[in-house]
Structure 1
Amino acid sequence: MGAHARSSEARYISSPPEPSQASGPATLIPQRERVAFLTGLAKAFAHIEGIVTVFTDAQGYVVLNVIPLGVPGRVVTVGCRYCRDGAWWLYDVRTGEAIGPANASKAAAHQIRTRIEKATAA
């Protein structure tokens, strides 16, 4: 039937490998899982009025800034790191304090929002 023959076998293409070199500042730190978890956290904030999220880079790592509108200086910069117990955790980049497991984005969003509200009230 030729090169375009139909087949019942499904073909799956694996994701491309992490780049080993890039033009500009090189980042050799794996980012896929980190970005996936931080994207989940950003989605958890999408329905909350008065808070926006912005991705940025901190020392070669992707982080998420959680910014309350109208409250200057109350940004929470959230990072994601792989711990020895084999799990990814969200943490406050400025304080180093753990926020929670990276796969519990709604609970983490609630905790971050509570931190922002407490800091605003103080």
Structure 2
Amino acid sequence: MGAHAWTSEAPYIPSPPEPTRANGPGTLIPQRERITCLVHLSKAFAHIEGIVTAFAVIQGYAVLNVIPLGWPGRSVTVGCRYCRDGAWWLYDIRTGQSIRPANEARLAAHRITTQIEEAAAA
């Protein structure tokens, strides 16, 4: 689970506040920065052959599924969380481990691809 789950391994870290809109419905959970970071990560995978990405929502939070074609069960679900140091970080939803700062999307994509390849070789 990620930082937004209430477990002993993942303390709750709230997202930064977002300005409220005067008109129309607002989301209960701020998503703008999180989605922007995940879109940049998705674009980093666009040039990698054999990997597709898909957005999803888990417990109200946007996530990005990184799915290798031809390797069932090797997908990685990536979330984005706001850390106490004031930066957004990409992390593996299943393990809770940080991957890279969100502004390093290409390096994060490389690390995730390497993780997938290592898991397939094992």
- Tell whether the 8 Å contact from 1:88 to 1:101 is kept in structure 2 after alignment: yes
- Tell whether the 8 Å contact from 1:19 to 1:28 is kept in structure 2 after alignment: no
Distance, in Å, in 2 between the alignment partners of 1:41 and 1:112 is 10
- Per-residue CA deviations over 1:58-111 (Å, capped at 9, x if unaligned) read 110000000000000001000000000000000000000000100000000000
* Rg comparison, structure with higher value: 1
Q: 2:73 corresponds to which residue?
A: 73
Q: CA RMSD in A?
A: 2.1
Q: 2:93 corresponds to which residue?
A: 93
The yes-or-no answer on 1:33 pairing with 2:7 is no
Identical positions, percent: 67
- Unpaired runs of at least 5, structure 2: 1-18
How many angstroms does 1:17 deviate by? Answer: 3.0
- Tell whether the 8 Å contact from 1:38 to 1:64 is kept in structure 2 after alignment: yes
User: What is the TM-score with the length of structure 1 in the denominator?
Assistant: 0.80
What count of residue pairs does the alignment treat as equivalent?
A: 104
Q: Secondary structure of 1:118's partner?
A: helix
User: What is the TM-score with the length of structure 2 in the denominator?
Assistant: 0.80
Q: 1:121 corresponds to which residue?
A: 121
Give the alignment of 1:16-27 within 5 angstroms.
17=21, 21=25, 27=27
- Tell whether the 8 Å contact from 1:41 to 1:108 is kept in structure 2 after alignment: yes
Higher relative contact order (CA 8 A, sep 6+): 2
